[in-house]
A and B are shown apart, each in its own frame.
Chain A
Amino acid sequence: MEYIIKDCDKYKIHFIKTNAFKSISFKINFIFPFKEEYQIIRNLFTEYMDEGTKNYNTLREMEKKKRDLYSAATRINSRRKGKLFSIEFDLTILEEQYTEENMINESIKFLKELVFNIDEKDGQVDSNKLQLCKKNMKKVFGDMKDSSSSYAHLRTMKLIDEKEYTKIGFFMQDKIDEISEKDIVDFHKMIINNSNIEIYAIGDFDNDQMENLIVENFDLKSKNSDYSNLKFINHEEEIILKDIVEDYDSFQSKLNMVLKIKRENDKRNNIIKRLYNTILGGGPTSKLFTNIREKNSLAYSCSSIYMEKDNLISIKSGIDSSNYDRAKELMINEIEEIKRGNFEEKELENAKLILLSELKEVKDYQIAILNSYIEDGIINESEEKELINSITKEEIISLANDSCLALIYFLKGDRP
């Protein structure tokens, strides 16, 4: 694999050369700082852009075009990462040897259409389409409310939320109807003119030819701001445990917990956090899975995930409501056990093996290579391995003691 960065004056193009795939993928990222007012509009904007452009102004026309490009796949996403938002335009196509000549050129023109040519007239987007997008967005929120696990997760994140930038769209639904046709056009202009912009291409292609195609089609100017202090959310405040019980009409109850991690965000600490999470609830040999499910038969699922940018560890389980006290006690006990150092070196070694395996696996998936590069830059595999292997049990214990239980949330469902 070969990584090449081309600084073409207005923005950077990142080429990742690999012949391990029959497809080529492109990504254009627009990154800008969080503002509460963007929380709903960014999702509505991606919905609207997904529905079509000026030249392909219906989903039907878009699909036809994609099929003509041999089933090109496109995706427009919006994400919050720490205190930043990103809007991402993705395109994946087959190499020309599996399609026909000039398909790369045609596809990049289509990507240009997706990014720039918003379906608008006189500074306003199409009203009918916007209404449909608003309806879809409300439908998605409705579905989230209908699923006990989604709802429990949203409530958990809402209850842990003490900062404006972790506000959740689900709880701001009243804002959807306030967004006008003009707001969407203005938002589009804002991301084009006021973002840090990065362009990525991964696959087997001629660099110069690809660079020319991109530069010809993308007249963009990156803002080049330094957002490094906005990448993460840190928890400097005093943490007071919230213990909350709510009711829901379901057969199974959800018991969630959240740990806030008070620790720097450098590379070594990130590995320590990942290892800690893996030992606690990151897989079927984790403390939570082994003790809550396997030994005590209290749950089918009990796991934790590490939310890197938010410095949180989120624990989720599905239990019978009658087992609430027991499951809660056992889960808290497992958190405490790691703090006290009551885990085997072998558990740490196993967690390292999982991380090492993930490191290698990245190379088998085009999108994983791209995402890993965007998040962590060029990874030197041997240095990364060395770093993972150098983490000690004491460092895990120390991290566990810097992680504080901030929320216990029980969504009680006891339908017979």
Chain B
Amino acid sequence: MKEIKLKGLNQTIYKEKTKNNLDIYMIPYDNKEGFTVNIITKYGSNNINFIPKNKKEFKTFPLGIAHFLEHKLFEQKDGIDPFMFAAEKGLDCNAFTSNVITSYYLSGTNHFDEALEYLLNLVYEINLTDENIEKEKGIIIEELKMYMDNIDFKIDLAMKSMLYHNHPNKDDVGGTIESVKSITKEDLLECYESFYEPSNMFMVISGNFNIDNTLKIINDNKLLKEKNSSFEISNQIINEPLKVKEEYKEIFENITNNKLCYAVKIPYVNIDKFVFRSYIKNYLSIKIGNISEFQYRLKKEQKLNFLGYDIEDADDKLIIYIFVETDDYKYLINELDKELSNKIILKEDLERQKKVQIAKEVSKTDYFNIMANLVVSDVILSNKVYENRIDLIRGLNIEEFSSIIESIDFTNKSVLVVKPKNN
């Protein structure tokens, strides 16, 4: 078992691997009541074109199939369904699908052993019937409709269709009503058998639990033991050009206030992803964050109502999203162009940012569920846990910062303006 000591955070994570290559990350806390058990497959909505297990040719699957499969794993053959199991033990159970993973969890304060056993049995067995698949379509279509009424969701999808040419990030995780209707039992089985292999999955367990006992339950699990394939997924390689697909678009929606989404597409440079992302987030915070001269000035001029930002991974590229609410979007676009291209950064600003970033890392260790999410994010990002995260933050320096920012072309952008329909 490997001990991963998070330097400067007074926290240790333990990593073990089963004989059939399921990675297990354990974060024990002795001063907490609760626990969370998560099992994750590196299979998300983006995996729609791959060579299924025991096949030789690439096959394209309907959009939204990973999410559909997530719903279907909640249908148990003989035993009680997960919601009922959780209710009977006073636990919380759920799952979610993203572009790159599907994650299942059970959390609570009692019945740890049964929760762990149950979650393993849940993902390593599937019960598909034509009847239960048809029933699920109705539920999923209502879920899609709920999102279709959500303006932020609509903006997100519209924006992605402007940024990406081919990358599946452009599609809704849940698929479309048509694609969901077209999903068959055979499709679901092929995806399940290909991606729900221990070697393509990992577990993150955090909170109040005993490590030895946990490993014993995992190693003794009958269904997991039976999974002995060394199958490796061949996903279709995505050829996504760096240049954005569409630079400017205006759309009309049922909204009261103008909204502006400004997104920049940049390539990852050849340094550690954690470090690169830290520089980008710090740059955004310094330039256009709450503390920036930019926000201060535009708010004073009453040109800016709200500004927020986020970043998104797309394999070897990174997308910076900036969301703005303003009455004068033309002015704001121009101001953002100028601000992001003005690449002067002060050392003192970076040092202040580092202080904030370190404080946030310390605060995260107070909460076992946040730490579980941190491990999941690290593993997805770089297939490891960043044990030296505090040192990496301390090591951020103005020379490297300036040179990275200097190399970025902030003009490779898509701008979406959303206007009220009745104007």
Contact = CB atoms under 8 A, between A and B. Distances in A.
Interface in A291-312: 293, 297-301
A94 B33 CA distance: 22
A361 B305 contact: no
Contacts of A148: 149
Given A23-B366, A361-B108, 20 more contacts: A59-B296, A60-B290, A63-B290, A67-B353, A94-B363, A135-B305, A139-B257, A146-B151, A147-B151, A148-B149, A149-B149, A251-B148, A285-B84, A285-B86, A289-B83, A298-B138, A300-B143, A354-B87, A360-B33, A363-B32
Interface string A54-96: 0000111001100110110000000000000000000000100
Nearest to A359: B109
A73 B340 CA distance: 27
A22 B366 contact: yes
A350 interface: yes
A402 interface: no
A252 B90 contact: no
A70 B109 contact: no
A21 B366 CA distance: 5
A63 B34 contact: no
Given A22-B363, A71-B359, A98-B359, A318 B146 contact: yes
Interface string B316-358: 0000000001000000000000000000000000001101101
A230 interface: no
A143 B256 contact: yes
Contacts of A59: 290, 295-296, 299
A224 interface: no
A193 interface: no
B142 A283 contact: no
A413 B149 contact: yes
B235 interface: no
B150 interface: yes
Nearest to B89: A353
A18 B356 CA distance: 24
Contact of A146 (B138, B255, B352): B255
Given A58-B296, A285-B83, A249 B254 contact: yes
Contacts of B299: 59, 132
B149 A22 contact: no
Interface string B365-393: 11110000000000000000000000000
Contacts of A366: 366
A146 B142 contact: no
Contacts of B300: 128
Interface in A352-378: 353-354, 356-357, 360-361, 363-366
A19 interface: yes
A333 interface: no
A131 interface: yes
Contact of B291 (A60, A98, A318): A60
A364 B362 contact: no
A64 B351 CA distance: 12
B109 A357 contact: yes
B366 A139 contact: no
Contacts of A328: none
A244 B245 CA distance: 46
Given A136-B305, A353-B88, A318 B142 contact: yes
A340 B93 CA distance: 30
A297 B257 contact: no
Interface of A: 19-23, 58-60, 63-64, 67-68, 70-71, 94, 98-99, 128, 131-132, 135-136, 139, 142-143, 145-149, 249-252, 283-285, 289, 293, 297-301, 318-320, 346, 350, 353-354, 356-357, 360-361, 363-366, 413
Nearest to A144: B256
A300 B140 contact: yes
B91 interface: yes
Contacts of A299: 139, 142
A353 B86 CA distance: 10
Contacts of B149: 147-149, 250-252, 413
A198 B199 CA distance: 55
Contacts of B358: 70
Contacts of B325: 139
Given A132-B299, A139-B257, A147-B150, A320 B145 contact: yes
Contact of B88 (A71, A297, A350, A361): A350
Contact of A60 (B86, B92, B292, B359): B292
Contacts of A20: 31-32, 366
Given A22-B363, A67-B291, A297-B135, A252 B355 contact: no
Contact of A71 (B143, B256, B257, B355): B355
10 contacts: A21-B366, A22-B363, A59-B295, A131-B302, A139-B256, A142-B255, A143-B256, A145-B256, A251-B149, A360-B33
Nearest to B359: A71
A364 B87 contact: no
Given A59-B299, A67-B355, A146-B254, A364 B367 contact: yes
B181 to A, nearest CB: 13
Contacts of A363: 32-33
B404 to A, nearest CB: 22
Contact of A22 (B139, B146, B365): B365
A251 B88 CA distance: 36
A363 B29 CA distance: 13
B90 A63 contact: no
B306 interface: yes
A350 B255 contact: no
Nearest to A71: B359
B379 to A, nearest CB: 23
A21 to B, nearest CB: 5
Contacts of A283: 83, 87
A251 B207 CA distance: 41
B184 to A, nearest CB: 18
Contacts of B145: 251-252, 318, 320
B352 A67 contact: yes
Nearest to B369: A364
B360 interface: yes
Contacts of A350: 87-88, 90
B305 A139 contact: yes
A70 B359 contact: yes
B411 interface: no
Nearest to B142: A300
A413 B93 CA distance: 31
A63 B93 CA distance: 38
B313 interface: no
Contacts of A22: 362-363, 365-366
A135 B302 contact: yes
Nearest to A366: B366
Contact of B142 (A145, A289, A320): A320
